[in-house]
Structure 1
Amino acid sequence: MYQLFNKRRHQYDRFIQYVATILFLSSISLHMGCGLTANGWNEQGVELFQTGNYPAAIERFQYALGTDETNADAYYNLASVYHRMGTNSRDSGFLQESEVLYNRCLDLDTDHSDCHRGLAVLLIKTNRKQEAFDLLVNWGKDRPHLADPEVELARLYQESGDAQATRKHLEQACSIDRNHPRAWKALAALNDSQGNTELALAQYQRSYILDNHQTELATRIASLNQQLRNSSTESANTRMANENVSRGRY
């Protein structure tokens, strides 16, 4: 009986140790963010970045790299934070760190569109406008089947005030990829700004069909439709000709 009691007591002690171990491991898991993936850390970091909490955002992006050291988005996100801090504080050290991180992102993902955009803006910010254009031109040469390089080039030309070059590259982007919603949206916006309302409307509609998550586009489409209807009504009301215009003379 005594031996049986001791045996049960030993089993009970082992069970308690097992439960304690499970609870301890669970606490570690909670401390580490419940096993968040790199994407999960990136999402948290982006939210913190958007609220202006840059140190906490950097920490989350570093956690993402700790989870996956080849995560291009984490490098891009870190670059964006340092870019913002460098711009706000005019700290060249932050901008240099940002440039290194942008390039590291492109080492891992050569077609990271947002990263090309961010790096091009940084190069212009640091008085290297030609290098910014070269970056995007070379990307387009290396990847002639992609529309994104043309879209980003168009964006730079638009910001430089060259509407003709902007149109050329946007039309080229739409030619390369007929199903690229961002290219159609940008071309529509250009035509919209130049008063080509009917053409802009058709291009906005095409972009929206390709990506119906663009809620702001739905609003603009409705506005242009109303504008065209009003224009048509005004034209009809001011029209003087009618079927009796000849007064019976012929």
Structure 2
Amino acid sequence: MTDTLTDQTPLTAPDTRHVVTNPAILYFGTPVVLVSTRNADGTANLAPFSSAFWLGDRAVLGASHGSQTYGNLRRTGQAVIALPSSDQADVVNRLALTTGNPSPAAYKLARGYAHVADKFARAGLTQVPAELVDAPIPAETPIALEAEVVAFHSEPGSDGAPVTELRVVRVHVHPELLLPGRPNRIDPDRWRPLIMSFQQLYGLTPRVASSRLASIDEEAYRR
């Protein structure tokens, strides 16, 4: 008698290669961004973030409650989220372990952070005025997103992750990243984001395969 394959038939034996672990952080790989905000004295703050992702026109940031960026977002509700390329790791490293807060939180001091007032100068970046928000654009970063706060999804003192949701209101891109003849399409073969994976900085490899999802035109997602 010929055996038949049913929905209940296991295709392979159970996989026992996994082990249980408990990492202190879960940074499996996200783009690094530089968040520009306006300080209360009118100067600019610029801070690197490795907790950032996008859903439609919404940007989601993990900004710690004691950070200068979080305080500025609370006060102004505006920011520029800039994306450095993979060849700008030195810019991010110049900003690492710095804070715009003149009175850093104890946990930051314990981790080696120091106050730096002029973050743009420290990074070696040029301030360019944004068009819709009161925060400067770093001219040298290939992509910059003007954004306005939509919601804070946790409060200081709460147990929740410090998540801030923003709406992207304008996108600025270096023109060489655009698909020829398509002014609203970024060419993924030209854009090379800087990726953080478990505290280390990486770039993307060349495309490994064509995506089936890419058969859907990007314009189908426009709201």
TM-score (normalised: structure 1): 0.21
Which has the bigger relative contact order, CA under 8 A and spacing at least 6? 2
Q: Which structure: larger Rg?
A: 1
TM-score (normalised: structure 2): 0.23
Counting strand residues as a fraction of each chain, which structure ranks higher?
2
